[in-house]
Structure 1
Amino acid sequence: MAAATSMAAALAASLPAPQAAPAPSAPTYEAIPASMAKVIDIEAEIPITSVQLDAIVVSKITKHAKEAPGSSAHGLLLGLDLDGTLEVWNSFALPHHSNDDDDKSAKGVARYQSSMLRSLKEVQADDSVIGFYQGMTLGSFFNQTLVDTQAIHQERLRHGGVVIVHDISQTARGNASFRAFRLTKAFLDAYKRHNFSTSSLIDHRLTFSTILEEVPLKIRTNALVSSFLGALSEATPSTTTQSSPALATSSAAIPPSYSRLNLGTGNTARNLEMVVEALDNYKTEEGNLAYLQRQIARERAKAEAYVAKRKEENATRIAAGLAPLPEEDVSRLFKIPPEPSRLESMLLLGRIDAYGKSLEETASTGLVKMYAAKANAGN
């Protein structure tokens, strides 16, 4: 958790600092026309209701997620808020360090981020950070780094920014999965208070499903991207067809597809492993919490026993006509540890839920195909 916090803090240090409001003075510019007053949101009063992702950003994120090891792909989103829509026009990847020291890695990423933003500004490109993206696998994206980074973004960016998560496993099956999220107000309030005790979770009505709120997302394409995708989908003429015109008619036919023979069970074993691993981590975390709760209960029992004993002694002294002993600060005599945070437990529950939904989606289709294949094999 400390490493995640240091990484988020280092990245936040390279973000542009919020500028203080200038002193009021007589305006020397023309007033904004009434027709444009809603679109040009200078005071950031229009709430964000949707996110629009440019097609070039989709291709960049997909390419980065495919090349990055595991689910380590992450980077910054650049764009502008316009009439309640957060338009993402560009993005760039952030480096991933796996074997370096955590502090050195965080500082290196922050330096790279500052250098990229400075370079974009020098060439007069858009350098307005509006959020970040994160690659994930099997639908699970709940982790401490994502929460810390998004919390800092919502505090420092103009409209709070968003995090866009991209499911790599869905892309491998031919489905482009992009979702936009923001932290809920209830979670941010508990996060700023650094209080995730049981009573705080009850007061804020927090569960793993109320940590993030999803923002509607749409993808915008342009003619250039559509032309590029159309060129990729066109079949290239083979050398056999060119040498033998008689085969031109047969080659123009739709090539055979064997995708239906794939039972779709390739990710099932990996998905089950992730579910078991998440359950083990949750069980370990719950064991740690139970141990800390027993420690707290023991210290409280000692403090209560000490207070009860002191009351009995004072009652005996008062009955004997003696002055009672002075009351002492129990918190100084007994170091009662604070109630442990349950944030990690909530995040682990979110992972288990995501892995379970992904398993339900993939296994249901796979089981139907397996039964169908078994029935056909029997005939």
Structure 2
Amino acid sequence: MAAAPSMAAALAASLPAPQAAPAPAAPTYEAIPASMAKVIDIEAEIPVTTVQLDGIVITKIIKHSREAPSATAHGLLLGLDLDGTLEVSNSFPLPLHGGGDDDDKSTKSVARYQAQMLRSLKEVQSDDSVVGFYQASTMGAFFSQALIDTQAIHQDKLRHGGIVVVHDITQTARGNAAFRAFRLTKSFLDAFKKSNFSTPSLIDHQLTFSTILEEIPVEIRTNALLSSFLNTLTTPTPSPLPDASPAEASTSSLPPSFSNLNLGAIGVVRNLEQVNDALDSYRTEEGNLAYLQRQIAREKSRADAYVAKRKEENASRVAQGLAPLPEEDVSRLFKIPPEPSRLESMLLLGQVDAYGKSLAGITSAGLVKMYAAKANSDI
């Protein structure tokens, strides 16, 4: 019986000794190069200083604004922020938001459409990161409660706060594609989160209609193929005819446009109507605020008179050796309304200012044209 263990021991000794498993090498991490440290902005510490719009985005926004039934065209902007530049590479329109009894149903429908579009873009390996939204406007007047509310939500939810790109349809109709990018200021956001736009709050935050939004520079980016195509359209080519007139010696794919020489007051009447409507709305809002202020002052005077009368009665009772009457809560006896919000009046002032600047631009250009025509006609 003792031979079995010895044989097992001899067999085990004849086998090669098992090799120890090599210890796993410690992982090494390469430091992020200095050139990429700003690009890989994980914590969103680099503020956005420039908005870069692709040519396809410009085309989509102009097409949507032109085909929209009214100046309410809006949609989402998609892209990525790199080294302080918000690169907008794609966009898609959103359906019009209905009102009335179907307001909640319309909101859910728009949310479903937005989620479906983002999901479809992700499936085709396209940019699906929302970086803001765009809004069409007429004559530069884009101040509205809806724009402020939407931008406030974006700045609270999105990575870098998001931006709103405003497209002026009126300027585009005159041949000038006007695109401006904005975001809400920190002082306005502070007052907005507190829902306090009373007079003391506006003074503390130094808020006016010009400090609601801050503008960000906009750049337009086109690829090399599109730039080459535009150059071929604008570069004149010599005429193949040997006896061509000087006017036809060189031609281009784009015919000359003389719309800038039109002396007609294009848009002046409509602009004046918009100014008058905005001023009427502002006057109505100021009248409502004045009525509420008088109502608040009336209730405060009644409360102060009640407190003064109660103090006189208590002083008289103490002089007679009687116990003073208990002091009652004035806020329960008198319903003093809170001070009204002045946000709507600020937005209306912003619209009046925008219409005024647009009117000044139209009239100044028309005045220069008339002086030029007068000089050429020797009148």
TM bin (shorter chain): 0.7 to 0.9
CA contact (8 A) 1:264 1:362 kept: no
SS of the counterpart of 2:127?
coil
Q: 1:84 to 1:261 in 2, by over 3 A?
A: closer
Q: Find the counterpart in structure 2 of residue 154 from structure 1.
A: 155
Q: Find the counterpart in structure 1 of residue 211 from structure 2.
A: 210
Q: 1:63 to 1:200 in 2, by over 3 A?
A: same
Q: Find the counterpart in structure 1 of residue 366 from structure 2.
A: 366
Query: Which shifted more, 363-372 or 127-136?
Result: 363-372
**CA-based RMSD:** 2.7
CA displacement, residues 338-359 of structure 1 (integer Å, 9 cap, x when unaligned): 0000000110111111110110
CA displacement, residues 314-342 of structure 1 (integer Å, 9 cap, x when unaligned): 11111111111101100011110100000
Query: 1:112 & 1:67 partners in 2: Cα distance?
Result: 19
Q: Find the counterpart in structure 1 of residue 339 from structure 2.
A: 339
Q: Find the counterpart in structure 1 of residue 118 from structure 2.
A: 117
1:166-245 equivalences in 2 (<5 Å): 166-230=167-231
Q: Find the counterpart in structure 1 of residue 259 from structure 2.
A: 259
CA displacement, residues 216-256 of structure 1 (integer Å, 9 cap, x when unaligned): 111111123224445665899xxxx99x9988997564566
- Which structure has more relative contact order (CA 8 Å, sep 6+)? It is 1
Q: What TM-score does the superposition give when structure 2 sets the normalisation length?
A: 0.85
Q: Find the counterpart in structure 1 of residue 12 from structure 2.
A: none
Question: Between Structure 1 and Structure 2, how many residues are aligned?
Answer: 348
Q: 1:152 to 1:371 in 2, by over 3 A?
A: same
Matching of residue 275 in structure 1 with residue 275 in structure 2 = yes
Query: Which shifted more, 348-357 or 262-271?
Result: 262-271
Query: 1:45 & 1:29 partners in 2: Cα distance?
Result: 26
Matching of residue 315 in structure 1 with residue 321 in structure 2 = no
Q: Find the counterpart in structure 2 of residue 324 from structure 1.
A: 324
Q: Counterpart of 1:213 in structure 2: which amino acid? A: E
Q: Find the counterpart in structure 1 of residue 72 from structure 2.
A: 72
SS of the counterpart of 1:79?
strand
Q: 1:67 to 1:235 in 2, by over 3 A?
A: farther
Query: Which shifted more, 174-183 or 247-256?
Result: 247-256
Q: 1:116 to 1:349 in 2, by over 3 A?
A: same
Query: 1:183 & 1:74 partners in 2: Cα distance?
Result: 18
Flag structure 1 segments of 5+ consecutive residues without an equivalent.
1-26
Query: 1:316 & 1:220 partners in 2: Cα distance?
Result: 82
CA contact (8 A) 1:56 1:225 kept: no
Matching of residue 30 in structure 1 with residue 20 in structure 2 = no
Query: Which shifted more, 118-127 or 271-280?
Result: 118-127
SS of the counterpart of 2:133?
strand
CA displacement, residues 16-71 of structure 1 (integer Å, 9 cap, x when unaligned): xxxxxxxxxxx988355232222111111111111111111111111111111232
SS of the counterpart of 1:142?
coil
Larger Rg: 2
CA contact (8 A) 1:166 1:178 kept: yes
Q: 1:315 to 1:369 in 2, by over 3 A?
A: same
Query: Which shifted more, 341-350 or 262-271?
Result: 262-271
Flag structure 2 segments of 5+ consecutive residues without an equivalent.
1-25
Q: Counterpart of 1:55 in structure 2: which amino acid? A: G
SS of the counterpart of 2:197?
coil
Query: 1:256 & 1:50 partners in 2: Cα distance?
Result: 34
Q: 1:337 to 1:44 in 2, by over 3 A?
A: same
Query: Which shifted more, 327-336 or 258-267?
Result: 258-267
Q: Find the counterpart in structure 2 of residue 105 from structure 1.
A: 106
Q: What TM-score does the superposition give when structure 1 sets the normalisation length?
A: 0.85
Q: 1:98 to 1:373 in 2, by over 3 A?
A: farther
SS of the counterpart of 1:344?
helix
CA contact (8 A) 1:182 1:212 kept: yes
CA displacement, residues 111-152 of structure 1 (integer Å, 9 cap, x when unaligned): 211111111112221110011111111111111011111111
CA contact (8 A) 1:54 1:221 kept: yes
Q: Find the counterpart in structure 2 of residue 87 from structure 1.
A: 87
